Structure 1
Amino acid sequence: MAQRSLPCPHCGALIDARENSCPWCGTRRPGIWARLTGRGTRGDNGDWQINAIIAANVVYFLLSLLISGHGSLDGNPLNFLSPDQRSLMLLGATGSVPVFAYGRFWTLISASYLHGGLLHIFFNMMALRQIGPWVSAEFGPNRMFAIYTLSGVVGYIASCLAGVSVTIGASAAVCGLIGALFYFGKARGGSYGAAVSREVSGWLISLVLFGLVMPGINNWGHGGGVVGGVVLARLLGFRAQKRDTSGHRIIALACAVLTVFALSWGCLLAYTVLFL
């Protein structure tokens, strides 16, 4: 009787149930572990990191509404229930003006947690909820968070260099996750890699078309985020290539510290200007 294949509970690669260790990540007795625990996917799918990112975005969005004098009335549905320009600038909107004119380099991180309206944050968080677990499964939670944070920075650097004066939103970081999946599909190869590449290519085409037809879309941020995600995925590797290392954990921790600093600094500046 043939032994069925089982996914390794750590890296997710399909292996023979009789294997004593996963040939991809080295996990001991992966078939036995998967049967005992009932785990058919990765041991750590990074849900708490993704939920933390979404929570931070929602809290920062609510804060921007709280300190706004009024919302936007320009008729754009994406700006429904939107914070005003002053609150966004205080909390850390980025772009060539904040970065080059005022030296607010920390906004390259904080801008990924600011949104211009209810639909803006809704669509970005829905995309993150769909794509984030997939990236976390293939790269691990630490690398996922590092790619999310740093590709957002790369996207906003591209925006600044292109002369985009002010910009906000998590879409550059989300595009980084898409870029990472695109690299994964090409590097992984095989039928699974080809399937990933096809699906992600469809997302990339949709991004381009959406950017062409919708006004006010930061295409430089999107493109920079995708390129950043591809480069970071190549540098960091994915689980089928190498297991998580202390270096990956240190990078993720550094990204978390920088994110907390940027958001806290934005809150402090807003409090200082508005209440002191």
Structure 2
Amino acid sequence: MRLSFFNGDEISSDSRDAGKSLTRTSRNDIFGKRQWTNILLAVNVLAYLAQTVSDGNLLFWGAKINSLISEGQLWRLATSSFLHANIGHLMVNCYSLNSVGPTVENICGPKRYLAIYITSAIASSAMSYWFCKAPAVGASGAIFGLVGSFALFSLRHRGIIKGIEGDLQQIGRVIVLNMAIGLLSQGIDNWGHVGGLLGGAAVSWFLGPALEIDSVSRSGRKMLTDKAPIFRLFKNR
């Protein structure tokens, strides 16, 4: 497991198994640790190209449209997160995902990263469904879920992991940018942002990482163990 931050600090493990000891190491190239971020970026771009080729039909088929969701088209709660209103909307979300995604992917690993992204996307659409009647599309809700995940990680590990202030400033800029776009652009609503943020924080609380100091080596390195609630649940069964 490797935890990589915007400022270059990392925490790594010699084992893929949860619960093994973690120590701080020097920075490596994070581009080898962002496979799913790259895939999600590609999916969003390809979906937009498909929208263009279909003359907007794909946008109608997959957008969050409350009346159609009420009729049972629940897939729209997920598909709407891969569609975008226009090229500017797509570019802003790709920039935001590229800014936040690699850090969260390194922190959580691929499985938890995907779980956070997809859950946040659905939570975003669900919140928008309940509080906003207008049609909506966009990956920003899922991205806000990644932001919520990293914010929770930072709060959980304050005092254990140092040097993440710059990371928090970076995701703060992502929040401001997306909220501004949400206020100014048609087809985007900030209720979805709130839903994604809360969804990402909630699933991250359960899935982790939730690192605790297990021991300290003679050299002063902290040995950390992942004690996320999900591991306790399976342990008790």
Match of 1:97 in 2: 67
CA shift for structure 1 position 203? 4.0
Q: SS state of the match for residue 192, structure 1?
A: coil
| Post-superposition CA distance 1:60-95 (Å, at most 9, x none) | 111111111xxxxxxxxxxxxxxx3x43112x1113
Worse-superposed segment, 200-209 or 230-239: 200-209
| Matching of residue 222 in structure 1 with residue 210 in structure 2 | no
Amino acid at match of 1:66: V
Match of 2:217 in 1: none
The 1:122/1:201 distance shift into structure 2, 3 A limit, reads closer
Equivalent residue runs for 1:144-163 within 5 Å? 144-163=113-132
Equivalent residue runs for 1:15-30 within 5 Å? 25-26=19-20
The 1:169/1:244 distance shift into structure 2, 3 A limit, reads farther
- State how far apart, in whole Å, the 2-side matches of 1:235 and 1:226 are: 15
- State how far apart, in whole Å, the 1-side matches of 2:176 and 2:210 are: 27
* 2:124–2:195 contact (8 Å) kept in structure 1: yes
Match of 1:169 in 2: 138
| Post-superposition CA distance 1:8-33 (Å, at most 9, x none) | x7456558xxx9999x95269x79xx
Match of 1:181 in 2: 150
Identity score, percent: 25
Higher relative contact order (CA 8 A, sep 6+): 2
CA shift for structure 1 position 244? 11
Match of 1:142 in 2: 111
The 1:220/1:64 distance shift into structure 2, 3 A limit, reads same
The 1:135/1:11 distance shift into structure 2, 3 A limit, reads closer
* 1:10–1:25 contact (8 Å) kept in structure 2: no
Larger radius of gyration: 1
* 1:97–1:166 contact (8 Å) kept in structure 2: no
Amino acid at match of 1:232: V
| Matching of residue 61 in structure 1 with residue 61 in structure 2 | no
Amino acid at match of 1:226: L
* 1:155–1:220 contact (8 Å) kept in structure 2: yes
CA shift for structure 1 position 51? 1.4
Question: Which of 91, 96, 103 in structure 2 is aligned with 1:122?
Answer: 91
Amino acid at match of 2:82: Y
| Matching of residue 232 in structure 1 with residue 219 in structure 2 | no
* 1:95–1:156 contact (8 Å) kept in structure 2: no
- State how far apart, in whole Å, the 2-side matches of 1:153 and 1:160 are: 10
Amino acid at match of 1:49: W
The 1:141/1:124 distance shift into structure 2, 3 A limit, reads same
Amino acid at match of 2:158: G
Q: SS state of the match for residue 174, structure 1?
A: helix
Equivalent residue runs for 1:30-109 within 5 Å? 40=28, 45=33, 47-68=34-55, 84=56, 86-90=57-61, 92-100=62-70, 102-109=71-78
CA shift for structure 1 position 211? 3.8
CA shift for structure 1 position 194? 4.9
Q: SS state of the match for residue 103, structure 1?
A: coil
The 1:27/1:195 distance shift into structure 2, 3 A limit, reads same
Amino acid at match of 1:61: Y
* 2:81–2:142 contact (8 Å) kept in structure 1: yes
Query: Which runs of no fewer than 5 residues in structure 1 stay unpaired?
Result: 1-8, 69-83, 249-276
TM-score (normalizing by structure 1): 0.64
* 1:185–1:192 contact (8 Å) kept in structure 2: no
* 1:140–1:244 contact (8 Å) kept in structure 2: no
Higher fraction of helix: 1
